[in-house]
Amino acid sequence: MSDKKVVPFAASKLSKKEQIATMFNDIAHRYDFLNHFMSLGIDIMWRKKALKLLKSLQPKKMLDVATGTGDFAIMANKMLNPDTITGIDISEGMLSFGREKINNLGLSDKITLQLGDSETISFPDNTFDAITVAYGVRNFENLEKGLAEMLRVLKPGGKLVILEFSNPTVFPIKQLYNLYFRYITPLIGKWIAKSQAAYSYLPESVKAFPQGQEMCNILTNTGFQAVTCKKLTFGISSIYCASR
């Protein structure tokens, strides 16, 4: 893992957190489409696999951190049918798209999206049965602080499920992945979302993020138990599951 802090806008004086919020506000209008387009729809399968790990728990109260436009929260509601899901995110632009989507689906009584920071979660200790994060932890300004906050608001016996990009190591997937991420992804971002910076940041942030056993060790050192890592599609994504 690199010690250098990877940020969307290298020349900016804003903190990583402020830059991430600005970046997602800028691309909110095309975010959902680009997610599915650039992963060829495989991200939907990855999300379902992650949520299946919570089925036996039958969570009643869920928190979706870095919820974005609420896609993962909507899927969690459909698959797990909890009483309530709260989604938090630092980008008001993403949340406003999400609220509109949730309203149109008639789910406003079950899913609530609110402005919130992973490092200072505004809920009491032991509030949630399950916490999910899809493609958000690598954007945390302080990873350990964010994980500790999620541990704090999780009930004893509750579960955390993190879905995040990782770097494949198998030939030729590794080479094709690097080529796609480094050269093609920024071009698609520039063309569709009008933001090359956001989609140049993506491969850099994945490369710098702790993965596999290293990420499992960080979760364990934070205080989580029964930490597991499952690689998906040649290691392009990984699911980390941990209990309190």
β-pair partners for 120 = 117
Q: Is 129 assigned to a binding site?
A: no
Q: Is 89 assigned to a binding site?
A: yes
Query: Positive or negative CA dihedral for 235, 236, 240, 241?
Result: negative
> DSSP code of 158?
E
CB atoms within 10 A of CB 162: 25
14 and 22 in contact (C-beta within 8 Å)? yes
Q: Is 83 assigned to a binding site?
A: no
Q: Which residues of 36-50 are buried (b: 16+ CB within 10 A; e: fewer)?
A: eebbeeebeebbeeb
For strands 237-243 and 154-165, give the pairing.
Answer: antiparallel
Q: Is 69 assigned to a binding site?
A: yes
9 and 27 in contact (C-beta within 8 Å)? no
Binding residues for S-adenosyl-L-methionine: 69, 89, 117-118
Binding residues: 69, 89, 117-118
